[in-house]
Amino acid sequence: MSTSDPIADMLTRIRNAIKARHPKVDVPASKLKMDIARILKDEGYITNYKLVEEGPRKAIRVYLKYTPGNVSVISEIQRVSRPGCRVYVGAREIPRVLGGLGINILTTPRGVMTGAMARKEGIGGEVLCQIW
């Protein structure tokens, strides 16, 4: 099954797994999704991720993070730029998520990074998603 928007598919799988209180979720692998998983781990939204090979297919296994009270660290995860409506921002227009409490993930000419990193480096890009 191919989706027209694999990033939205990844975010939806994570969102559904959190609602169902799953400890982990598998997402079809791609380089961009690996970068998104890396940022989620670096920012402390997931405990870990790894590449798993199931037959011919590669998947990214994302280990979700919960507080001791079994509340998910990710309270909301939203797709911003979609194939039908791309959202590009310059370095000065990078939006703050919940007044700096959340993060946004951008693809820039220098790779995938958080909005804060892109702002610091003075480069804009395409806003993929927001997480808080």
- Helices 6-19 and 31-42 cross at an angle (nearest 10°) of 40
Do 39 and 105 form a contact (C-beta atoms < 8 A)?
Answer: yes
Task: Give domain limits for the chain.
Answer: 6-131
Give residue 2's pLDDT: 62
Give residue 100's pLDDT: 73
| Residue 28 to residues 6, 50, 70, Cα–Cα distance (Å) | 8, 12, 26
> Do you know the residue count of the chain?
132
Do 130 and 104 form a contact (C-beta atoms < 8 A)?
Answer: yes
Per-residue confidence in pLDDT tens, the chain, 132 aa: 567 999 999 999 999 999 999 999 999 999 999 999 999 999 999 999 999 998 899 999 999 999 999 999 999 999 999 999 999 999 999 988 888 789 999 999 999 999 999 999 999 999 999 999
Give residue 95's pLDDT: 87
Give residue 128's pLDDT: 97
Do 11 and 25 form a contact (C-beta atoms < 8 A)?
Answer: no
Q: Which CATH number fits domain 6-131: 3.30.1490.10, 2.60.40.420, 3.30.1330.180, 3.90.1150.10?
A: 3.30.1490.10
Give residue 45's pLDDT: 95
Beta strand ranges found along 55-124 (DSSP E): 57-64, 77-79, 88-89, 103-108, 111-114
- Work out the burial of residue 27: count CB atoms within 10 Å of its CB; fewer than 13 is exposed, 13-18 middle, 19 or more buried: buried
- Measure the CA–CA gap between 13 and 7, rounded to whole angstroms: 10
Half-sphere exposure of 124 (CA within 13 A, CB side): 10
